[in-house]
Amino acid sequence: MTRHVGDLIREARQARGISLRALATQIGIHFSHLSKIENGKDQIGRKALERLAEILEIDPGLMLGEAGHQERPFRVLGNVAAGVPIDAIENVETFDLTRVFDPQDHFLLRVQGQSMIQDGINDQDLAIIRHARTADNGETVVAVVDGAEATLKRYRRVGSTVTLIPANDQMTEMVYAASRIEICGILVGLVRTEMQ
């Protein structure tokens, strides 16, 4: 079963003995929003993710699921210091990305544009998408509009109306009749291809 960023947040929070409310307060978001993130029902913004990673002392890139299908597993050769130098000891282990993202259930799309940058999704990144025809409000989806144009946006449906929401304050929400929108998949991870 694929783990999402919420699972990683919950595990790191609980391992450090921090309550949901306390962590939400430190990040600057409402505890109910953090609860939804942990349960995979909502997305976390880039600034909140960076603050959360700082508090929990974990890599934000890891939580975004920077992974994709590989024919051969990556090899983790050991540890490297990003602070105080440590002994360079080679300790080889393998990291098979296909165990996290089953290639039968997932596909990759290259992101083009800046509409999701506040969720940490940058131009030219590879979005890892799980095949799906339906989505819950708050999930980031690949939606096809009028059977032609595909876009990666947050999803919200109210009645017979679907709103596709960018994660960029410079852009506006797009509202459509639900009949015009087809869900093709849900964002479950990201492969960072360029440093921002």
Band the pLDDT of 86: cuts 50, 70, 90: very low
Return the exposure string of 96-134: e unless at least 16 CB atoms fall within 10 Å of the residue's CB, then b. Answer: ebbebbeeeebbebebeeebbbbbbbbeebbbbbbebee
The residue among 121 and 2 whose pLDDT is bigger is: 121
Active site residue 153: yes
* Cα–Cα dist 147/87, whole Å: 56
Give me the residue label for tokens 């479950």.
188
The residue among 90 and 37 whose pLDDT is bigger is: 37
pLDDT at 67 over 60: no
Active site residue 115: yes
Pick the CATH number of 5-63 from 3.40.50.300, 2.40.30.20, 3.90.800.10, 1.10.260.40: 1.10.260.40
Q: For 74-94, what is the mean pLDDT?
A: 51
* Cα–Cα dist 157/176, whole Å: 10
The residue among 179 and 59 whose pLDDT is bigger is: 179
Name residues whose C-beta falls within 8 Å of residue 84's C-beta, 6 or more positions apart in sequence.
none
Chain mean pLDDT for the chain: 78
pLDDT at 72 over 60: no
pLDDT in the model for residue 189 = 87
Could you say which of 19, 153, 160, 179 is catalytic? 153
pLDDT at 47 over 70: yes
Span(s) in the chain for CATH 2.10.109.10? 106-191
Q: What is the pTM of this model?
A: 0.53
Span(s) in the chain for CATH 1.10.260.40? 5-63
- Least confidently predicted of 62-76, 78-92, 103-117: 62-76
Pick the CATH number of 106-191 from 3.90.1570.10, 2.10.109.10, 3.50.50.60, 3.40.50.300: 2.10.109.10
pLDDT at 167 over 80: yes
pLDDT at 76 over 60: no
pLDDT at 51 over 50: yes
Could you say which of 32, 36, 47, 115 is catalytic? 115
pLDDT at 139 over 50: yes
